[in-house]
Amino acid sequence: MSEYRTEKDSLGEVQVPAGALYGAQTQRAVINFPVSGMKPYPAFVWSQAVIKRAAAEVNRDLGLLDAKLAGAIMAAADEVIAGKHADQFVVDPFQAGAGTSHNMNVNEVIANRASQILGFAIDDPKKPVSPNDHVNMAQSTNDTIPTAIRLGCLWRLPELLAAVDDLADALEAKASEFDDVVKSGRTHLQDAVPVRLGQEFGAYAAAVRNDMERLEAAAGRLRRLGIGGTATGSGLNAHPEYHQRMVDKLSELTGHELRSSGNLFESMQNMGDAADFSASMRALCITLVRVANDFRMLSSGPTTGLDEIRLPAVQPGSSIMPGKVNPVMAEMLNMACFHAQGNDFTVALATQAGQLELNVMMPIIAHNLFEMMHVLIGAINAFTTKCVVGVTANREKAFGWLAKNPILVTALNPVIGYLNGAAVAKESLATGKSIREVVVEKGLLEGDKVDELLDVRAMTEGGIMAGGGGGG
């Protein structure tokens, strides 16, 4: 038995692996683009298969596609949607512009599988289903690829939102657990007025939830589709009812509330919605990097650092220093977010590279969006389960740093004045005496009054301490 079979496309004959479901154009892409060895993400394959499935049904109902052929195409597409034949999608992300190679890879696999369903061998020259005439009917790479990008992002969106939501929940739980821990606040990395550790963690949770809102808002704009615009937005070779029927059918098949873009020419030219969604993930990364860095700083030392929180020890930290444990989950999250921000930069560059009626950089937009989502889902879930839920507070160290904090004098400002407060703080730093001791020695306040004003828990609640007036 031969290892190859002969397939034909508009350029001529091509030798294709005998058992491959793909055909000539896919094989040409494999030969032409041996770049990264990477393959399309499952989200991209799934979304294209859903489009082919919907198109077959819509074209059948419009009387344009034979019902028998349509049924076989729908059945083949359903197999791909279910995750079958994943090894047949082999085109490198760095490929021909617009995504023609990926579109044809999907067309050829579904066409050949549909012919098999109809009882024809894959090498039978009489196999009835054409990848171009039937599977790609009323379509173009130029409208299916941007539609697939939108649908693929929406497909993984629930996973991403769930990961972010779980992280926010875990941070909120720690905010409650640490609410009794009063510690030094820090601004400019210098001592500042007291805060509660729970307040710090509550702020982290709120920031993450704000990013979740941004993700949802940007994803909402991915729901507007330009399918049916075909090559340039004019809808050439598509039935006048095809566009709206496809929007309705895709809504039914995916379970998402999709809508028309309103301007199919814009849908071919502009990838702004994809860039917007990418930017919302970048904003999430910015927050996550900041939180991860705070985790690393607050757990630093432990003997020579802040050591206000302890992170779970998940692996040895050094090949030479026994007993060393590093904040590895926070470090991992940093690296994942740096990578994702690089993905976003690529999406931005590719989005602005669109020209006239088409953005030909769509394959790399698709790859980077799906990679960004994939990496963030995994990284956030790991950080939440292996780090955040196991964080503990080092109450003694937090209280210890606070007791030495000369900024406590800020609470006395409304009574003794800013300049007197500054003098007290300087003397406290120079002598090692407590704020209370210096204030009493200088005769600025009685000891009982100082104790009343230096209620550190009350300081974290805001307001003017003891109803005092202005000062200095």
Catalytic residues: 188, 318
Residue in 160, 178, 215 with CA at minimum distance from that of residue 377:
160
To which H or E segment does residue 186 belong? strand 182-187
- In the three-class reduction of DSSP (H, G, I as helix; E, B as strand; rest coil), residue 6 is classed as strand
- In the three-class reduction of DSSP (H, G, I as helix; E, B as strand; rest coil), residue 422 is classed as helix
List all residues 6 or more positions away from 378 whose beta carbon is below 8 Å from its beta carbon: 336
How many residues appear in the chain?
A: 472
Buried b / exposed e along 253-267 (16+ C-beta atoms within 10 A): bbebebebbeebeeb
Rounded to 5 degrees, φ, ψ at 6 are -95, 125
Measured from the Cβ of residue 97, the count of other Cβ atoms closer than 10 Å reads 15
Q: Going by DSSP bridges, is the β-strand pair 182-187/190-196 parallel, antiparallel, or unpaired?
A: antiparallel
- Residue 101 · residue 29 · CB < 8 Å: yes
> Token pair for residue 304?
């020579």
